[in-house]
Structures are given as C-alpha cells and as structure tokens.
Amino acid sequence: MLLKSLVKPKERLTTVREDATLEEALQILEDSGFRCVPILDETGQLFRGNIYKMHIYRHKSRGGDMSLPVTTLLKNATKFISVNAAFFNVFFSIKDLPYITVLDDNNHFYGILTHARLLDMLSQSWNVNVGSYVLTVVSSGERGDLASMAKIITKYTSIASVMSLDAQGGELVHRTLFTLPSDVGKKKLDRIVDNLERKEFRVPEIEDLQSYDRI
C-alpha cells in the first residue's frame, strides 16, 4: 500500500489549469524551473494530464499557435495511481515518467510521487544508514533457499533487511541482498560468507556500507 507520506501533496505543487494557453503554460514552466507539471481542471480537483516544456518548445519552433489551450499538448492522461495502490503497481506505473500522479479515494488529484522520493524510500528500506555490509547471495531459486540462507546468517547475527531481486528460469541468477546490522565486524562477516558458500550459496559481492558517506 502506498504511504501518503511519500506523496508530494497538491498544495505544494506547481500546476496548470486546463483553460491556460500554451504561452501561459510555458511561462509557468519557465518560472518554476520544472520540465513537466500536472494539468488540472478549473476546480483544481480533476487531473487532465501532464504538460512538458519540451513539447511546447517543439510546437513553438514549428510555428505553432501559442494561444491554443494547454490541453492541445497534454500527455499521460491515463498515467495515475490510487493513493491506496500497491507498491508493485507503483513501480510499473512510474517507469519512464518523472513522477506519477496520485488520486484520492474520490478520484480527485491528491499529489505526485516522484522518482527521487521512491528511491529515497527504497534506500531507507535497505537500512543503509544502520547496516555494516550488504551480501549479494546467489541461489538456484529452489523452494526453501531463502529460509536456508536466513538460518545460516542468523546463527551469527540478526538481519537488518532483505531484498530479493531477479530470477531467470534455468539459470543460477536468483539474487538475494542481505543487509547485516552495524555491529557485524569483518571476522563475523567472513564466517557468515564461509558458511553460506559451504552450503553452495555463492556470495559474489559484498558491499561495505561503512565506507560510504552516510545519507
């Protein structure tokens, strides 16, 4: 479920009304410094789409009429999610967009979720600031692998966070990232890695979080 705290609310956003002209929209974009802003209806409640600075400039460079309504060049009219959307849906919806529009329970414009905010949330879930090492453990994706890997690690320490990545059929490419807590030292790390590899779980990468600047 999408957390409202991740969403930048309407009151803090620069938007364009649907009755604005392309010239007016361009001025708003120039003044704000944004490359794209939402278009809302005259009540400020309904999302119509997005307007991009580059599309207006392209239109203008081709001698297009700048007095046309901003809706002439609107994009992404169907690109939005509910404030209650599942994270799985969020990731696929935001994909190539600078942000994804968020609607409330009444389908009114609530705000936007930006790529930057989503990445910040992921970094927090990774526990970068309170971890010591991140182990990338490769397995075959067999049933019980995750439990087996976790059991080996928890013989020595707790797990700060865990993230499962890609899995391609037939290949040994199922990767699981384990963040170890900050009190894990090099000696304990080596014992964990040794035990994982003796159980035929490869550890091709170890990231030392202590060597990074804290966020």
Work out whether the CA dihedral 138, 136, 115, 110 comes out positive or negative: positive
Into which CATH architecture does domain 4-120 fall? Roll (3.10)
Per DSSP, the three-state class of 159 is coil
What digits encode the pLDDT tens for the residues 8-41?
Answer: 999 999 999 999 999 999 999 999 999 999 999 9
Residues of the chain with CATH 3.10.580.10: 4-120
* 128-211 is classed CATH 3.40.50.10800: no
Q: Where are the alpha helices (DSSP H) in the chain?
A: 22-32, 53-61, 87-94, 115-125, 145-153, 186-198
* pTM of the entire predicted model: 0.70
What digits encode the pLDDT tens for the residues 30-87?
Answer: 999 999 999 999 999 999 999 999 999 999 999 999 999 999 999 999 999 998 887 7
Q: Say if CB 44 and CB 56 are below 8 A apart.
A: no
- Report which of 189, 135, 199, 201 is spatially closest to residue 162, judged by C-alpha positions: 135
Residues of the chain with CATH 3.30.70.260: 128-211
The number of C-alpha atoms within 13 Å of 199 and in the hemisphere containing its C-beta is 20
